[in-house]
Structures are given as structure tokens and as C-alpha cells.
A and B are shown apart, each in its own frame.
Chain A
């Protein structure tokens, strides 16, 4: 018997932008087609990277592709983003990132000067994150068959003894911490697009989180779970965690750190900041008794100065995220359906 496409044709017979949006359609594609066919134990953990043993050493391995438009945006560029994105995916697996690969897919006619800027930016980013770019690949596609430049990075890192970051370790009562103000990357990209004539000082939060996370893990290796809320934002990450752990997540709207200008732009455009991408934030789930101390460690670092405890894991509403609103009522925070904004990373 031949292989049958696991996504019924009645769903979609063509890829939509939303299949890459980090929301429900992305999940369907990943779950139904990729996971079910590539099916293995490591993949099933559904983390930002795979963690496995090599001899006595625990290794983390991850990959990510970057198609952000525009390639230079307030607070960063595609090169820096590609390094930090992979560094952060390793860091939230509990790993200390070591080596990174880079694949460039460049459109014919792309400016050599801009490529040089991207390369310099990647080198600076790698130095800041203390990783080395050790291998790579370059492909050029016909003019009109790509959009300037796409970058893929993969990375490996070592998971220290005693660290185990996994959905399976989450327990009711665990506190949920976010390391800073939300939605800055997505809104920075939005404000940089030509169709928006905003004059804002909003900058992307793109930053390497590995040093910050290392500081925490050195003192508190018992962190249960970490994720970086990139595409799909805080809500998508919390929903994924709630579904995978089959526990409930309760958060409080008043505790979620957000800058006033970001909040204002979201209000004007009708966007929910909980669904907007971050590129320099980590969400941690950890034993309640460690939460205050970890919060202090985060707050003592510039990358974590606005960190806050935003909620906890509960026994109720399994698999769902519920938020206490500013007026004290409760509402479901669902996974992003479709896409709020395409090609943000």
C-alpha cells in the first residue's frame, strides 16, 4: 500500500501561510504529517530541540530557519536573529550551546554589502553568546525565486549533569516565570514593515538567553520546564505545555509584563500581545519554593530585569490555559488560530 497523506485533502490541499504561523494549523501539520511519519522517542518530547545521550554526555541538538521580512529591523537583523534563535532553543533545553552551523539561501542579485552586514552581525552575535559558527553552506536561487536571503542555523550544546528540562516534570503548584516584557519582537517587525507608517521607538528584544539561563541553572538545576515564546507568543507556548503535560495553567493578566507603547500599538491594531513573538524571553516552570529566588537572579541581569511570576500550574482545566483578566473574571487563552502576522522570524 502506498503512503497516504495524513492530512486529509478535505482540510487543505495546499500549504497556507498559517501552516508556518506557529498556531493551530502549524501544529496540525507538525503532529499529523511530520511527527507521525518521522515518529521516534526524541521527537515525541516536542521541545525546541532534541536531548540525547552520547557516552556519558547529554547533548541537545536543534535547528531553525529564518525568513524574517524586513531582514534589517529595529533592534536586530536576520543574522543576529538566526544565531540567537538557535542559541535560545538550545538554552531552553537546559543546554550550554557550543557550535552552530549556518546555511544561507540567497536570491540572485542580493546586495553584497547587505550580506556582509549580516555576516558581521552573526559573528558579533556568536561572540556575545559564546558559541562558534563551525560549518555552513551557501546556495543561490534565481532572482524572484526567494526573498533576498533566508538563513538556517543548527546548533549543538551540552546539558549539564542534574539538569532535566521536560514537560513530564511539570507538577501542579509549579510557578510560571517570564523573564521580561512581552511582544516586543513581533511589534518591532510590524512597525518596520513598509505598510505601517508608525513612528515608534519599539525595538526587537532579540538576545541570547544562554548566559542568563546558566546563571539560574547553576543555583537551581531543578527547573522543570523552559521554553522561549517566539512565534505564536506566550499563549502558544503555554498551550503547548498545558496540552503536553495534561495539566492546567492559570495566569494573571495584571502580572504579565508589557511596555505601554507595545500595549498601545496592540490596542490600535486589535492584536493580542499574548500571541505576539518574543526573541529574547524565556518562560520557566519551576517548583514553587524556588520561584522567588530564581526571580531575583533573573532580575539582577539586564536581560531579566522585568521578570515576573505570572501564574502557576493547577490540577483544574487540564490541557488548558485560563487567565484571570484585569477585572477579575476568568477567560480561556486559546492557541493562536491562523496567523496574526506572517514571517516574523
Chain B
């Protein structure tokens, strides 16, 4: 299949792996930001192909994983309201809140629906004028334009029964939070190709200067990832720190101006709590004042719900690249995809779930 097969080509993969081996003379720690990349790395066993000196750590780019527990509890509270149809992407439905998950709310009689697009939630609102339809707006810069579009669409249609429970997050502030942490060990980043498809990569230029780290915008297929790692290692070995674009077939420097303009028409940047990491300044998006009528958090009066995390789960450290899923005492024991303790075990983009699904676990010879 065009645009796929050539990026999953075994010969190219081996050629890049060899180039990386030849190039690497020192030990380096590189973080891939995006959960989609984490999954590709695990699914294709790419770490096996890399020299031992390269340590690939996994970043916070799993939208489900970083959505704070209290936001899930708010979602559950709203979904239990009788006249509500609560809609969400599928992964979010299985993340445990402090008591249970959204799928359990559905089993208890709540009208919880999985949708593939926020625009479908708008359609549900149109078709059910006597119900209040709430969409769980989570994700990074990749989901924000579509979620903003849903708000504009609902406004254009004059819908008064549609709202967003908004927990949008932004990548660059998270990179900065990781780099400015005294515990940080990360020396280079693979930036998330799809986020940069929307945003471009100009916003990474100041980070590269300030923290002297290479950032390489990278795609998601095995060849993409290995080329991204190759470019990062090359910079590190040569003592350079620049923004480079591996994902040239998709990403432009300025990103997608139309998507950005819709997004910033509807949303403003705010401080946001990241699950396992804490509050990162200006790292989230909330609805602007003029779209307040679409803000489910205010409409359903759930702003006061506060929740504490499990103390045993090390999701925060995993999401910051300080530890790997297999370092967690709960991993594959009390925490499994059927009984997730932390969100990274739930999401299809979560590092723990990727390790559980694809990695050679101790029970495998």
C-alpha cells in the first residue's frame, strides 16, 4: 500500500539501524513524545535493532494517559446525569476514575456513546433536542481543531444542548516541563509528527536554543522513527541542536494555518493539570469566554470535583521518561489492560499498554 509499505520496508529498516549503530559512539537518552510512536517502537521491536548505548524513553504524548483523574470523575458525574448523552473517543471510556469507568456508567444505565469524531456528537445533539449532549474533548493539538470545529458547527446550527468537557493539552509546554525538571535525563526529542502537521515546528525553535537539545519532527512508521532517531543521534554526536523535520511528506514549517485559526478562535491557553505530572503553566486549552455556553464543566457544576491519584502507580515517572513500564511493581501483576490501575495501561497509545501487548514479558521465554 502506497505511503505505508515503503515505510515498513525491512531493508530500509535494517539500513537505518546499521547507520545508527555506526554513528553512535556515546550513550544518549532520546525521548519520543507521542504515544503513537511508542506503540510503533514496541510493535515493531525497534529497540532490539538499536545499539545498547541508545536509551529510548517514552514521553507524555498519550492524551488519555495525561487526562487527570479528576477530569474522568467529572466525566463520570456528568454521564450519570439523567438527561445527558455522554460521548467520547473509545479509549477514554475504559480509563478508571476513582470509583469506576465510563463503560460501567453505561452498564448502569447511563447513555454513554463511543464516537469517532466530535462532529458525530454534534449530529447526536441535533437528533436529540430533548437531551444534553456532552463530548469529552481530550487530546493534543491534533484533536483541538476538530473539537473547535464541533463548537463552531453547534453554534452555527443554534444548538443549545451541545457542550464540551474540555481537557485539551499542548506539547511544547510539556517538553519544557520535562527539560526544566532537575531529574530530566533526556538529551534529544522526537517531536510528534501529527501535532506538527497542525502546528508546524516554529514553536520548537526557542526550546532548542534555551535547552540546547535536538528536536526532530518524526513520523510513525518504523522507517520514519529510525530516520528520526538517526537524525537526532547525528546532531548529538556532532554537538548540534536544531529543529529538523524528518516527516517532510506531511509536516510544513508553518503547519496547517486553517486548523490553527479555528483552534485559536475557540480556545485559549490555560494552566492544566497533567495526570501523574502535575500542573504545567499554559499547557492546556479551554473554551474562550464567548463560547462559555459550550463549557460542560460550568454547565454541570462539576468544577469542584477533586481527586487524588493511586500512590503505587508510577505513571507520572513513566510519562516523564524517568522510568519504563516494566520498572513498575504493579506492571502485568495487579495492573493489566482488563484491570488498569493507571491510564497508560488503558490507552491504545499508553506506554504500559504497548509494553503489555508487544514486549517480551517475563512470562515469555
Chain A residues with CB under 8 Å of B14's CB are 327-328
Nearest CB in chain A to that of B94: its residue: A338
Nearest CB in chain B to that of A196: its residue: B116
Chain A residues with CB under 8 Å of B359's CB are 332
- B44:A332 contact, CB within 8 angstroms: no
- A16:B357 contact, CB within 8 angstroms: no
Q: Which of B192-246 contact A (CB under 8 A)?
A: 222
B-facing mask of A235-265, CB < 8 A → 1, else 0?
0000000000000100000000000100110
Q: A12-B104, A16-B103, A325-B43 are in contact. Are A337 and B48 (CB under 8 A)?
A: no
B244 → chain A, closest Cβ, in Å? Answer: 23
Which of B8, B48, B339 touches A326 (beta carbons < 8 Å)? B8
B163 → chain A, closest Cβ, in Å? Answer: 20
Q: How far is the CA of A49 from the CA of B108 in the complex (A)?
A: 33
Q: Does any Cβ of B come within 8 Å of A195's Cβ?
A: yes
Chain A residues with CB under 8 Å of B43's CB are 325, 331
* Segment of A90-98, A170-178, A315-323 engaged in the interface with chain B: A315-323
- B10:A327 contact, CB within 8 angstroms: yes
Q: How far is the CA of A318 from the CA of B42 in the complex (A)?
A: 21
Q: Does any Cβ of A come within 8 Å of B72's Cβ?
A: no
Chain A residues with CB under 8 Å of B336's CB are 337
Q: Does any Cβ of B come within 8 Å of A33's Cβ?
A: no
* Segment of A17-25, A35-43, A67-75 engaged in the interface with chain B: A17-25
A5 → chain B, closest Cβ, in Å? Answer: 16
Q: Does any Cβ of A come within 8 Å of B365's Cβ?
A: yes
Q: How far is the CA of A96 from the CA of B313 in the complex (A)?
A: 53
Q: Does any Cβ of A come within 8 Å of B268's Cβ?
A: no
Nearest CB in chain A to that of B105: its residue: A14
Most chain B CB inside 10 Å of its own CB: which residue of A11, A12, A16, A329: A329
A-facing mask of B153-183, CB < 8 A → 1, else 0?
0000000000000000000000000000000
- B338:A325 contact, CB within 8 angstroms: no
- B44:A331 contact, CB within 8 angstroms: yes
Q: Does any Cβ of B come within 8 Å of A218's Cβ?
A: no
Which of A18, A196, A320 touches B364 (beta carbons < 8 Å)? A320
Most chain B CB inside 10 Å of its own CB: which residue of A24, A260, A337: A337
A181 → chain B, closest Cβ, in Å? Answer: 14
Total interface residues in chain B, CB < 8 Å: 38
Q: Does any Cβ of A come within 8 Å of B4's Cβ?
A: yes
Chain A residues with CB under 8 Å of B248's CB are none
Q: Does any Cβ of B come within 8 Å of A64's Cβ?
A: no
Q: Does any Cβ of B come within 8 Å of A15's Cβ?
A: yes
Q: Does any Cβ of B come within 8 Å of A269's Cβ?
A: yes
Nearest CB in chain A to that of B223: its residue: A327
Chain B residues with CB under 8 Å of A114's CB are none
- A195:B116 contact, CB within 8 angstroms: yes
Q: How far is the CA of A27 from the CA of B141 in the complex (A)?
A: 38
Nearest CB in chain B to that of A11: its residue: B339
- B357:A24 contact, CB within 8 angstroms: no
Q: A16-B107, A320-B364, A326-B8 are in contact. Are A331 and B120 (CB under 8 A)?
A: no
Which of B46, B107, B357, B363 touches A329 (beta carbons < 8 Å)? B46
- A325:B44 contact, CB within 8 angstroms: yes
A-facing mask of B339-365, CB < 8 A → 1, else 0?
100000000100000001111110111
Q: How far is the CA of A326 from the CA of B223 in the complex (A)?
A: 12
- A317:B13 contact, CB within 8 angstroms: no
A-facing mask of B308-346, CB < 8 A → 1, else 0?
000000000000000000000000000011110000000
A-facing mask of B116-143, CB < 8 A → 1, else 0?
1000100000000000000000000000
Chain A residues with CB under 8 Å of B357's CB are 332, 334
Q: Does any Cβ of A come within 8 Å of B270's Cβ?
A: no
Which of B1, B108, B116, B364 touches A332 (beta carbons < 8 Å)? B364
Q: How far is the CA of A28 from the CA of B338 in the complex (A)?
A: 10
Q: Does any Cβ of A come within 8 Å of B82's Cβ?
A: no
- B45:A325 contact, CB within 8 angstroms: yes
Which of B8, B363, B365 touches A316 (beta carbons < 8 Å)? B365
- B338:A25 contact, CB within 8 angstroms: yes
Chain B residues with CB under 8 Å of A290's CB are none
Q: How far is the CA of A28 from the CA of B339 in the complex (A)?
A: 12
Q: How far is the CA of A261 from the CA of B69 in the complex (A)?
A: 39
Q: Does any Cβ of A come within 8 Å of B149's Cβ?
A: no
Q: Which of B44-66 contact A (CB under 8 A)?
A: 44-46, 48-49
- A329:B115 contact, CB within 8 angstroms: no
Q: Does any Cβ of B come within 8 Å of A300's Cβ?
A: no
Q: Which of A197-229 contact B (CB under 8 A)?
A: none
B5 → chain A, closest Cβ, in Å? Answer: 8
- A263:B1 contact, CB within 8 angstroms: yes
B-facing mask of A43-74, CB < 8 A → 1, else 0?
00000000000000000000000000000000
A20 → chain B, closest Cβ, in Å? Answer: 12
Q: How far is the CA of A264 from the CA of B2 in the complex (A)?
A: 10
- A267:B44 contact, CB within 8 angstroms: no
Which of A14, A267, A317 touches B107 (beta carbons < 8 Å)? A14
Nearest CB in chain B to that of A195: its residue: B120
Nearest CB in chain B to that of A329: its residue: B45
Q: How far is the CA of A71 from the CA of B146 in the complex (A)?
A: 32
A102 → chain B, closest Cβ, in Å? Answer: 30
Chain A residues with CB under 8 Å of B8's CB are 326-327
- A327:B338 contact, CB within 8 angstroms: no
Q: Shortest 3 CB-CB distances between A and B: which pairs?
A: A329-B45, A337-B337, A14-B107
Since A24-B337, A260-B1 are in contact, a sample of 15 more A-B pairs with Cβ atoms closer than 8 Å, ordered by chain A residue number, is A16-B103, A17-B103, A18-B103, A24-B338, A195-B120, A267-B1, A320-B363, A325-B43, A326-B10, A329-B46, A329-B48, A332-B357, A332-B361, A334-B357, A337-B336
A-B contact pairs, 23 of them (CB 8 A): A14-B104, A14-B107, A16-B106, A18-B103, A24-B337, A24-B338, A195-B115, A248-B365, A260-B1, A269-B116, A320-B363, A320-B364, A325-B43, A325-B44, A325-B45, A327-B9, A329-B44, A329-B45, A329-B46, A331-B42, A332-B357, A332-B360, A337-B338
